[in-house]
């Protein structure tokens, strides 16, 4: 083998080993009604890359706040899991950021559907959340129960809107800078920054 061929082989080998493998792929699955959780999802994507995957349902929730609160409460009571509009292709992702608002101090029913329908065994799940000031409720315990064979990293949770009081998107203008910095610190802490 000539020196040229050996050099060429070495260069190709180096390029291939630098290319991210299929199993290194990241996605950011998120549920968002008034775009606060979406804003955080986009900040995460800006820092770590990955595919943004919004949760879309076969039957969207009502626009009216009182009506959605009532429906969610009934679904939590009955254990109804709302079906997704399309089947997601998650096999290629090894790291899944999972974003959701707090609904009724619980994990929203569509996120329960997600964890029930998709097998996340062996994957790293990174939860993030927005709420109107009351925190995560029982969400994290439910995530732990529904993905017992995943590695779950530390959650990021921050105040978003207060739809009840007519405050929809709260993560905007000056608050974007603050939240971006908190997102970056969290990503650093959990070892997700390159
Ligand atoms: C049906 C429903 C129930 C909610 N329940 C709670 C709650 O229990 N605790 C809380 O802090 N916020 C609650 N919120 C407020 C949202 O968690 C908060 O506005 C969040 O930032 C919305 O995220 P989004 O803009 O991504 O939809 C609720 C909102 C809705 C629509």
Interval 22-45: pLDDT, tens: 457 999 999 999 999 999 999 999
Say how many CA atoms lie within 13 Å of 111 toward its Cβ: 31
- Of ligand 1's listed atoms, the one at least distance from the Cα of 69 is 1
Question: Does 96 have pLDDT greater than 70?
Answer: yes
DSSP 61: P
- Tell me the C-alpha distance between 114 and 86, whole Å: 12
User: Quick one: pLDDT band at residue 13, thresholds 50, 70, 90?
Assistant: very low
Residue 14 forms part of a structural domain:
no
Please give the mean pLDDT across all residues of the chain: 91
What backbone torsions phi and psi does residue 88 show, to the nearest 5 degrees?
A: -85, 145
53 in a structural domain: yes
Range of the domain at 127: 24-189
Q: How confident is the model at residue 9 (pLDDT cuts 50, 70, 90)?
A: low
Q: How many other β-carbons are positioned within 10 Å of the β-carbon of residue 1?
A: 6
Q: What are the C-alpha distances in Å from 141 to residues 35, 70, 82, 100, 152?
A: 24, 23, 20, 14, 11
Residue 55 inside a domain? The answer is yes
- How many domains are contained in the chain? 1
Pocket test of ligand 1: the residue of 101, 170, 176 to mutate, having most ligand atoms within 8 Å of its CB, is 101
Question: What's the CA-to-centroid distance between 19 and ligand 1, angstroms?
Answer: 40
- Average pLDDT rounded to a whole number, residues 111-119: 97
Residue 186 confidence class, pLDDT cut points 50, 70, 90: very high
pLDDT score for 95: 98
Residue 29 counted as domain residue: yes
Query: What is the CATH classification number for the domain harbouring 75?
Result: 3.40.50.360
Residue 91 lies in a domain: yes
Q: Is the ipTM of this complex over 0.90?
A: yes
Q: Among 4-18, 60-74, 92-106, whose mean pLDDT is lowest?
A: 4-18
How many whole angstroms from 103 Cα to the centroid of ligand 1? 5
Answer whether 72 contacts ligand 1 (Cβ < 6 A): yes
> At CA 132, angle to CA 69 and CA 100, rounded to 5?
70
**Over 90: is that where the pLDDT of 11 sits?**
no
Pocket of ligand 1 contains residue 160 by CB under 6 Å: yes
Percent of the chain with pLDDT over 70: 88
Q: Is residue 194 part of a domain?
A: no
| 180 C-alpha to ligand 1 centroid (Å) | 20
Q: Please tell me the predicted confidence (pLDDT) of residue 3.
A: 52
Question: Residue 126 C-alpha to ligand 1 middle, in angstroms?
Answer: 19
pLDDT band for 1, please (50, 70, 90 cuts). low
Q: What pTM, to 2 d.p., does this model score? A: 0.90
> Which of 100, 112, 163, 172 most suits a substitution to test ligand 1, by most atoms within 8 Å of the C-beta?
163
Is 100 within 8 Å of 107 (Cβ atoms)? yes
* 8 domain-assigned: no
Q: Give the Cβ contact number of residue 96 at 10 Å.
A: 23
Q: Tell me, yes or no, whether 159 lies in a domain.
A: yes
């Amino acid at each position: 083998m000539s020196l040229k061929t050996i050099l060429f082989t070495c260069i190709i080998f180096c390029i291939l080993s630098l290319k991210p493998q299929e199993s290194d792929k990241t996605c950011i699955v998120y549920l968002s009604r008034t775009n606060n959780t979406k804003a955080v999802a986009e900040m995460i994507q800006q820092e770590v890359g990955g595919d943004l995957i919004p949760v879309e349902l076969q039957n969207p929730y009502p626009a009216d706040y009182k009506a959605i609160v009532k429906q969610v409460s009934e679904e939590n009571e009955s254990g109804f899991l709302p079906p997704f509009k399309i089947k997601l292709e998650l096999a290629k992702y090894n790291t899944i950021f999972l974003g959701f608002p707090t609904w009724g101090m619980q994990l929203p029913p569509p996120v329960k559907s997600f964890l029930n329908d998709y097998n996340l065994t062996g994957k790293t799940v990174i939860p993030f959340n927005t709420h109107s000031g009351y925190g995560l409720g029982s969400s994290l315990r439910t995530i732990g129960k529904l993905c017992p064979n995943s590695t779950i990293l530390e959650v990021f949770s921050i105040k978003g809107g207060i739809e009840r009081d007519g405050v929809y998107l709260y993560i905007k203008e000056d608050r974007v800078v603050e939240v971006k910095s908190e997102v970056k610190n969290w990503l650093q802490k959990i070892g997700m920054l390159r």
